[in-house]
Amino acid sequence: MGARSAHRAHRAHEAPHAVERETAHAAQVRELVAAGDLRDPAWRAAFSAVPRHVFVPYFYTGRGAGYERLWGEDPDPERRARWLRGVYTDTPLATRLRDGELVSSSSQPSLMARMLTALDVREGHRVLEIGAGTGYNAALLCHRLGDGNVTTVDLDEEITESARAHLARLGYHPLVVTGDGARGCPARAPYDRIIATCTLPLVPHAWLGQCVPGARILAPLSTGLLALAVHGAGFAEGRFLHTPVYFVPLRGGIRGAAGPEVSRPPYDLPYDLHEDDRFRFMLGLTGTALHPREALDLWRGEGRPGRERFGVTVNAEGEWSWLDDPQGPYVWPLGSGPG
């Protein structure tokens, strides 16, 4: 069964609530277009064709013991309406908890659109996604590139089984792999693009060896979105985009660390800096290489630089973050070595 016929069958199955769901889906796409997040017609077509609610049959609101589960098939019409409003609100949604901790989520649609645009795919490109999540992002990639060009990896078998089922409901069948995302998926290499939907402590060195020369890696690191150009199996370099991002951390065998936990800034800093997202981002990149006070003096002295002035270099010897110039005076080790 093709994607279109499977989608029609799914719509018939959902018939009692189909109109409300389709209306909400169409409204969200219009909002993303109006906000400038879907300027590429190809991605606009993908978001129009792939409904988010299929991938988020339920989600959680609240925190800790106060989590509430909202479900699309709830017999209570008010709770069902709250679920639908939540699904088609431009916000991330908690989709899987374990012992009260978030282990998987559905990303904010506007951020997904910006990341997919920044990935800069072309027809025929082979893409590896790290972090299968609900399968929604993989479905968008499949619509744009075709099932055979998309591989998505997640460490958790429950997550991959669920993503695979969601994708199949709409007729999409990428390769969904249960495994350590830090190791990539060498069986399907080489890749033209790698996109991660989880925060990294380091860029796994294994990824570089699975890319074609000139490939692009787009991955969250600290609280920024790093765009790396791969120049060979042992070297990649690139800058951060200006967009702030917050994802569930990568779980797997990667070594090293990107510095202090950015959600808990040092308490010996002025209070206003506890809430300054740009400075906290810098702390996450400089790690133990700079004392927080040294980092603060540098950050102020350089005009309070934003994310786009920082970058990362990866080679066989290790990984470094830098400000403005990889050969300049401000370069810091990211971790103990390649992942």
In our burial notation (b when 16+ CB lie closer than 10 A, e otherwise), range 42-81 reads ebbebbbbbbbbbbbbebbeeeeeeeeebebeeeeeeebe
CA 92 to CA 72: how far, in whole Å?
17
Residues composing the chain: 339
**Which is it for strands 318-323 and 310-315: parallel, antiparallel or unpaired?**
antiparallel
Catalytic residue check, 104: yes
Contact 219, 203 (CB under 8 A): yes
Catalytic: which of 5, 104, 222, 263?
104
Report the candidate in 208, 192, 187 with the shortest Cα–Cα distance to residue 125: 192
Beta strands in the chain (DSSP E): 58-61, 68-71, 93-98, 101-106, 127-130, 150-154, 175-178, 191-196, 211-221, 224-232, 235-244, 310-315, 318-323, 331-333
CA 219 to CA 115: how far, in whole Å?
9
Q: How many CA atoms lie within 13 A of 35 on its CB side?
A: 13
List active site positions: 104
